[in-house]
Structure 1
Amino acid sequence: MKTLWSVSAVSVLCTTVMWLFSVPQLVLSGVIDVGPFFGLLMVLPTLIGLPCALAGALVGIVCVFRQRARRWAVNLMAFGQCVTVALAIAIVVWAIGFATTGWELIALPTSLMVGQVVVVAGLIKAGRPRMPGSVRAST
Protein backbone atom coordinates (compact mmCIF):
# COMPACT_ATOMS: atom_id res chain seq x y z
CA MET A 1 0.00 0.00 0.00
CA LYS A 2 2.77 2.41 0.90
CA THR A 3 4.59 1.77 -2.41
CA LEU A 4 1.37 2.30 -4.35
CA TRP A 5 0.72 5.52 -2.44
CA SER A 6 4.27 6.80 -3.07
CA VAL A 7 4.39 6.12 -6.81
CA SER A 8 0.86 7.48 -7.17
CA ALA A 9 1.86 10.71 -5.43
CA VAL A 10 4.86 11.15 -7.75
CA SER A 11 2.85 10.43 -10.90
CA VAL A 12 0.09 12.81 -9.80
CA LEU A 13 2.66 15.56 -9.13
CA CYS A 14 4.06 15.07 -12.63
CA THR A 15 0.55 15.24 -14.06
CA THR A 16 -0.22 18.39 -12.10
CA VAL A 17 2.78 20.12 -13.67
CA MET A 18 1.55 19.12 -17.13
CA TRP A 19 -2.00 20.33 -16.43
CA LEU A 20 -0.71 23.66 -15.10
CA PHE A 21 1.38 24.11 -18.25
CA SER A 22 -1.17 23.05 -20.86
CA VAL A 23 -4.58 24.22 -19.62
CA PRO A 24 -3.85 27.98 -19.59
CA GLN A 25 -2.45 27.75 -23.12
CA LEU A 26 -5.43 25.78 -24.36
CA VAL A 27 -7.86 28.24 -22.78
CA LEU A 28 -6.11 31.36 -24.05
CA SER A 29 -4.97 30.34 -27.54
CA GLY A 30 -6.41 26.88 -28.20
CA VAL A 31 -2.93 25.46 -28.90
CA ILE A 32 -0.12 24.20 -26.68
CA ASP A 33 3.01 26.05 -27.75
CA VAL A 34 6.11 23.92 -28.19
CA GLY A 35 8.43 26.55 -26.77
CA PRO A 36 11.50 26.49 -24.56
CA PHE A 37 9.64 25.15 -21.50
CA PHE A 38 7.82 22.34 -23.29
CA GLY A 39 10.57 19.83 -22.65
CA LEU A 40 10.85 20.74 -18.99
CA LEU A 41 7.13 20.92 -18.24
CA MET A 42 5.69 18.22 -20.53
CA VAL A 43 8.39 15.79 -21.66
CA LEU A 44 10.32 15.44 -18.39
CA PRO A 45 7.22 14.83 -16.22
CA THR A 46 6.11 12.23 -18.76
CA LEU A 47 9.46 10.46 -18.52
CA ILE A 48 9.16 10.40 -14.73
CA GLY A 49 5.41 9.80 -14.44
CA LEU A 50 5.02 6.87 -16.84
CA PRO A 51 7.54 4.59 -15.07
CA CYS A 52 5.88 5.49 -11.76
CA ALA A 53 2.49 4.65 -13.27
CA LEU A 54 3.86 1.33 -14.51
CA ALA A 55 5.22 0.54 -11.04
CA GLY A 56 1.90 1.58 -9.51
CA ALA A 57 -0.02 -0.63 -11.93
CA LEU A 58 2.17 -3.63 -11.12
CA VAL A 59 1.94 -3.10 -7.35
CA GLY A 60 -1.80 -2.47 -7.62
CA ILE A 61 -2.38 -5.66 -9.59
CA VAL A 62 -0.37 -7.65 -7.04
CA CYS A 63 -2.41 -6.16 -4.19
CA VAL A 64 -5.67 -6.99 -5.95
CA PHE A 65 -4.63 -10.59 -6.68
CA ARG A 66 -3.44 -11.09 -3.12
CA GLN A 67 -6.72 -9.56 -1.99
CA ARG A 68 -5.02 -6.94 0.10
CA ALA A 69 -6.78 -4.21 -1.79
CA ARG A 70 -10.10 -4.31 -0.01
CA ARG A 71 -10.34 -0.56 0.34
CA TRP A 72 -11.78 1.62 -2.38
CA ALA A 73 -8.79 3.97 -2.30
CA VAL A 74 -6.32 1.22 -3.21
CA ASN A 75 -8.59 -0.08 -5.95
CA LEU A 76 -9.00 3.42 -7.41
CA MET A 77 -5.25 4.05 -7.42
CA ALA A 78 -4.54 0.67 -9.01
CA PHE A 79 -7.25 1.16 -11.64
CA GLY A 80 -6.05 4.67 -12.50
CA GLN A 81 -2.46 3.48 -12.88
CA CYS A 82 -3.61 0.62 -15.13
CA VAL A 83 -5.64 3.05 -17.28
CA THR A 84 -2.59 5.30 -17.60
CA VAL A 85 -0.35 2.44 -18.71
CA ALA A 86 -2.99 1.08 -21.11
CA LEU A 87 -3.42 4.48 -22.76
CA ALA A 88 0.35 4.91 -23.06
CA ILE A 89 0.70 1.49 -24.68
CA ALA A 90 -2.16 2.26 -27.07
CA ILE A 91 -0.51 5.55 -28.12
CA VAL A 92 2.88 3.87 -28.68
CA VAL A 93 1.29 1.02 -30.68
CA TRP A 94 -0.64 3.57 -32.73
CA ALA A 95 2.54 5.54 -33.45
CA ILE A 96 4.74 2.55 -34.26
CA GLY A 97 2.35 -0.07 -35.58
CA PHE A 98 0.69 1.86 -38.34
CA ALA A 99 2.17 3.84 -41.21
CA THR A 100 2.53 7.06 -39.26
CA THR A 101 5.23 9.69 -38.88
CA GLY A 102 5.96 9.23 -35.19
CA TRP A 103 4.64 12.66 -34.28
CA GLU A 104 1.77 10.84 -32.62
CA LEU A 105 4.08 10.26 -29.65
CA ILE A 106 3.52 13.92 -28.78
CA ALA A 107 0.16 12.70 -27.43
CA LEU A 108 1.89 10.46 -24.87
CA PRO A 109 1.50 12.96 -21.98
CA THR A 110 -2.27 12.76 -22.39
CA SER A 111 -2.17 9.20 -21.08
CA LEU A 112 -0.96 10.58 -17.75
CA MET A 113 -3.32 13.53 -17.87
CA VAL A 114 -6.34 11.26 -18.28
CA GLY A 115 -5.49 8.24 -16.15
CA GLN A 116 -4.22 10.13 -13.15
CA VAL A 117 -7.61 11.74 -12.52
CA VAL A 118 -8.78 8.43 -11.04
CA VAL A 119 -5.54 8.12 -9.06
CA VAL A 120 -6.16 11.54 -7.49
CA ALA A 121 -9.54 10.33 -6.27
CA GLY A 122 -7.87 7.31 -4.70
CA LEU A 123 -5.17 9.42 -3.07
CA ILE A 124 -7.73 11.81 -1.62
CA LYS A 125 -9.77 8.91 -0.26
CA ALA A 126 -6.69 7.15 1.15
CA GLY A 127 -5.15 10.12 2.88
CA ARG A 128 -1.58 9.94 4.11
CA PRO A 129 -0.26 6.45 4.88
CA ARG A 130 0.61 5.75 8.51
CA MET A 131 3.16 3.40 9.96
CA PRO A 132 1.56 0.27 11.48
CA GLY A 133 3.07 0.75 14.94
CA SER A 134 2.81 4.52 15.21
CA VAL A 135 0.69 5.99 17.94
CA ARG A 136 -0.31 9.62 18.27
CA ALA A 137 1.16 11.41 21.23
CA SER A 138 -1.56 12.69 23.47
CA THR A 139 -1.19 16.30 24.58
Structure 2
Amino acid sequence: MATYTITELAREFDITPRAIRFYEDQGLLSPTREGPSGRNRVYTARERTHLKLTLRGKRLGLSLSDIKSLVDMYRSPKDTETQLQSFLVVLARHRAALEQQREDIEVMLAEISAHEEESRQLLAQGAKTSLTE
Protein backbone atom coordinates (compact mmCIF):
# COMPACT_ATOMS: atom_id res chain seq x y z
CA MET A 1 0.00 0.00 0.00
CA ALA A 2 1.39 3.41 -0.99
CA THR A 3 2.06 5.85 1.81
CA TYR A 4 3.16 9.47 1.81
CA THR A 5 4.92 11.81 4.19
CA ILE A 6 3.66 15.29 4.89
CA THR A 7 6.61 16.68 2.90
CA GLU A 8 5.77 14.55 -0.13
CA LEU A 9 2.13 15.65 -0.12
CA ALA A 10 3.07 19.29 0.41
CA ARG A 11 5.42 19.14 -2.56
CA GLU A 12 2.95 17.26 -4.78
CA PHE A 13 0.07 19.68 -4.14
CA ASP A 14 2.26 22.79 -3.83
CA ILE A 15 1.04 23.68 -0.35
CA THR A 16 2.81 24.00 2.97
CA PRO A 17 3.05 21.25 5.59
CA ARG A 18 1.38 23.76 7.91
CA ALA A 19 -1.69 23.80 5.62
CA ILE A 20 -1.84 20.01 5.74
CA ARG A 21 -1.64 20.08 9.55
CA PHE A 22 -4.44 22.66 9.56
CA TYR A 23 -6.65 20.37 7.47
CA GLU A 24 -5.82 17.58 9.90
CA ASP A 25 -6.86 19.80 12.83
CA GLN A 26 -10.15 20.47 11.01
CA GLY A 27 -10.83 16.73 10.77
CA LEU A 28 -10.37 16.56 7.01
CA LEU A 29 -7.33 14.28 7.24
CA SER A 30 -6.48 11.50 9.68
CA PRO A 31 -2.95 10.23 9.15
CA THR A 32 -1.50 7.44 11.20
CA ARG A 33 1.49 8.15 13.43
CA GLU A 34 4.76 6.28 13.41
CA GLY A 35 8.26 6.67 14.76
CA PRO A 36 9.42 7.78 18.18
CA SER A 37 6.50 9.14 20.18
CA GLY A 38 4.32 9.00 17.05
CA ARG A 39 5.92 12.14 15.64
CA ASN A 40 5.85 11.12 11.98
CA ARG A 41 2.60 11.44 10.08
CA VAL A 42 1.96 8.73 7.50
CA TYR A 43 -0.70 9.38 4.87
CA THR A 44 -2.34 6.59 2.90
CA ALA A 45 -3.60 6.84 -0.66
CA ARG A 46 -7.06 7.43 0.82
CA GLU A 47 -5.77 10.39 2.88
CA ARG A 48 -4.09 11.73 -0.27
CA THR A 49 -7.48 11.58 -2.01
CA HIS A 50 -9.08 13.41 0.95
CA LEU A 51 -6.46 16.14 0.59
CA LYS A 52 -7.12 16.32 -3.15
CA LEU A 53 -10.89 16.66 -2.51
CA THR A 54 -10.20 19.33 0.11
CA LEU A 55 -8.07 21.39 -2.24
CA ARG A 56 -10.59 21.00 -5.05
CA GLY A 57 -13.33 22.21 -2.71
CA LYS A 58 -11.20 25.21 -1.73
CA ARG A 59 -10.67 26.08 -5.41
CA LEU A 60 -14.45 25.96 -5.88
CA GLY A 61 -14.79 28.35 -2.95
CA LEU A 62 -16.58 25.90 -0.67
CA SER A 63 -16.43 26.40 3.08
CA LEU A 64 -14.41 24.00 5.20
CA SER A 65 -17.69 22.79 6.67
CA ASP A 66 -19.02 21.87 3.22
CA ILE A 67 -15.69 20.29 2.29
CA LYS A 68 -15.75 18.22 5.48
CA SER A 69 -19.24 16.98 4.63
CA LEU A 70 -18.04 15.92 1.20
CA VAL A 71 -14.94 14.20 2.58
CA ASP A 72 -17.08 12.43 5.19
CA MET A 73 -19.37 11.20 2.40
CA TYR A 74 -16.32 9.84 0.60
CA ARG A 75 -15.28 8.00 3.75
CA SER A 76 -18.49 5.96 3.81
CA PRO A 77 -19.46 5.14 0.22
CA LYS A 78 -22.57 3.17 1.19
CA ASP A 79 -25.26 5.07 -0.70
CA THR A 80 -23.85 6.82 -3.73
CA GLU A 81 -27.22 8.30 -4.74
CA THR A 82 -27.67 10.00 -1.36
CA GLN A 83 -24.10 11.30 -1.50
CA LEU A 84 -24.60 12.72 -4.97
CA GLN A 85 -27.88 14.35 -3.92
CA SER A 86 -26.10 15.95 -0.96
CA PHE A 87 -23.29 17.13 -3.23
CA LEU A 88 -25.84 18.70 -5.58
CA VAL A 89 -27.38 20.57 -2.64
CA VAL A 90 -23.96 21.91 -1.61
CA LEU A 91 -23.21 22.97 -5.19
CA ALA A 92 -26.61 24.63 -5.61
CA ARG A 93 -26.15 26.60 -2.40
CA HIS A 94 -22.68 27.68 -3.49
CA ARG A 95 -23.92 28.62 -6.98
CA ALA A 96 -26.67 30.78 -5.47
CA ALA A 97 -24.15 32.59 -3.27
CA LEU A 98 -21.82 33.21 -6.22
CA GLU A 99 -24.67 34.47 -8.40
CA GLN A 100 -25.70 36.88 -5.65
CA GLN A 101 -22.11 38.09 -5.39
CA ARG A 102 -21.99 38.58 -9.16
CA GLU A 103 -25.21 40.61 -9.03
CA ASP A 104 -23.82 42.72 -6.18
CA ILE A 105 -20.59 43.31 -8.13
CA GLU A 106 -22.51 44.37 -11.25
CA VAL A 107 -24.51 46.90 -9.19
CA MET A 108 -21.31 48.27 -7.64
CA LEU A 109 -19.61 48.51 -11.04
CA ALA A 110 -22.58 50.45 -12.41
CA GLU A 111 -22.38 52.84 -9.45
CA ILE A 112 -18.64 53.31 -10.00
CA SER A 113 -19.22 54.04 -13.69
CA ALA A 114 -21.86 56.65 -12.79
CA HIS A 115 -19.50 58.31 -10.30
CA GLU A 116 -16.67 58.28 -12.84
CA GLU A 117 -18.86 59.91 -15.47
CA GLU A 118 -20.09 62.53 -13.02
CA SER A 119 -16.49 63.28 -11.96
CA ARG A 120 -15.39 63.63 -15.59
CA GLN A 121 -18.25 66.05 -16.28
CA LEU A 122 -17.37 68.12 -13.22
CA LEU A 123 -13.73 68.21 -14.27
CA ALA A 124 -14.69 69.26 -17.80
CA GLN A 125 -16.94 72.01 -16.43
CA GLY A 126 -14.19 73.18 -14.09
CA ALA A 127 -11.69 73.35 -16.95
CA LYS A 128 -14.13 75.42 -19.05
CA THR A 129 -14.80 77.77 -16.13
CA SER A 130 -11.09 78.36 -15.49
CA LEU A 131 -10.46 79.05 -19.21
CA THR A 132 -13.15 81.74 -19.34
CA GLU A 133 -11.94 83.55 -16.24
Output the TM-score relative to the length of structure 2: 0.27
Output the TM-score relative to the length of structure 1: 0.26
